[in-house]
Amino acid sequence: MVTIISKMTEFLVLATVCVLFAGYAVFLYPLEKLQTLTSPEVKQKQLEHAPN
């Protein structure tokens, strides 16, 4: 009985970590990437370091 509970707990922890990672990868990372691409500071730095 103890092994079943420990295996279920292990599975739930692993599933939770996987869902959190997948949620970040699918939803939050693209939004963060888009925000940095449209940021005025990033555009200014790109202009400063652009070859003439």
Q: Please work out, in degrees rounded to the nearest 5, the angle formed at the alpha carbon of residue 16 by the alpha carbons of 2 and 19.
A: 150
pTM confidence score: 0.59
Handedness of CA 5, 9, 10, 12 (dihedral sign): positive
- Go through 2-39 and write b for each residue having 16 or more CB atoms within 10 A of its CB, e for each that does not: eeeeeeeeeeeeeeeeeeeeeeeeeeeeeeeeeeeeee
DSSP 27: I
pLDDT, position 52:
65
**pLDDT tens readout for residues 1-52:** 789 999 999 999 999 999 999 999 999 999 998 888 888 888 888 888 878 6
